[in-house]
């Protein structure tokens, strides 16, 4: 590993704090990680430059804006050539209702997707459009999320960090 990319305890604390509150001021961040403001800011800029921090944003409570339904969907493609996967992956990035897509193994299907839609009817419309779009989808199974017990957005950075 390039020494410039090596993280220490302070870097990990900076990332954990910013992940929890991306709008935290540099003064508050420097206090939280026990570092003076100027070196703290230099570290943040370094972490951004190296790609550890990829973006800042706001977490929105969508249920205050609109009623939604969240659905996990397993999808299987009829063909498994690289070009088929590339085409599928490129085209689904254009569908705003798809919040996540993961290529998976070991489950008898190819992709695990998470949709957010206004209703079951809206979801059915999106699926119909996908089936008509020549994405080579041979089958799909839908799982309506009744209630989310855990929905974390922050990674357990401190627990995952290689301290060795």
> Would you say residue 153 has pLDDT above 90?
no
Cα angle 100, 102, 106 (rounded to 5 degrees) comes to 145
DSSP β-bridge partners for residue 113:
73, 101
CA dist., res. 54 & res. 47, Å (int): 9
DSSP β-bridge partners for residue 141:
74
The pLDDT of residue 122? 98
Instruction: Let me know if domain 62-144 sits in CATH 3.20.10.10.
Output: no
The separation between CA 116 and the C-alpha centre of its own chain, rounded to angstroms, equals: 14
> Would you say residue 93 has pLDDT above 70?
yes
* CATH topology assigned to domain 3-58: Arc Repressor Mutant, subunit A (1.10.10)
Could you state, in order of their start, the residue ranges of all structural domains in the chain? Answer: 3-58, 62-144
> Would you say residue 78 has pLDDT above 80?
yes
The pLDDT of residue 3? 57
pLDDT-based confidence at residue 75 (cuts at 50, 70, 90):
very high
The pLDDT of residue 29? 97
The pLDDT of residue 128? 98
CA dist., res. 119 & res. 121, Å (int): 5
Question: What pTM was computed for the model?
Answer: 0.83
SS3 state at 31: helix
The pLDDT of residue 109? 95
pLDDT tens-place string over residues 22-68:
999 999 999 999 999 999 999 999 999 999 999 999 889 998 999 99
Q: Which residues contact 26 (CB under 8 A, 6 or more apart)?
A: 37, 40, 41, 44
């Amino acid at each position: 590993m390039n020494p410039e990319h090596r993280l220490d305890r302070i870097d990990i604390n900076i990332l954990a704090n910013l992940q929890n509150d991306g709008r935290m001021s540099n003064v508050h961040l420097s206090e939280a990680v026990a570092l003076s403001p100027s070196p703290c800011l230099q570290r943040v800029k370094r972490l951004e430059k190296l790609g550890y921090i990829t973006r800042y944003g706001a977490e929105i409570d969508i249920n205050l804006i609109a009623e939604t339904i969240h659905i996990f969907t397993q999808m299987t493609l009829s063909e498994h050539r690289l070009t088929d996967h590339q085409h599928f992956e490129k085209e689904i990035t254009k569908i705003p209702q798809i919040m996540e897509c993961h290529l998976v193994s070991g489950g008898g299907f190819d992709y695990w997707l998470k949709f957010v839609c206004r209703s079951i009817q809206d979801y059915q419309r999106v699926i119909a459009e996908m089936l008509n779009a020549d994405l080579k989808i041979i089958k799909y199974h839908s799982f309506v999320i009744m209630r989310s017990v855990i929905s974390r957005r922050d990674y357990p950075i401190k627990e995952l960090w290689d301290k060795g």
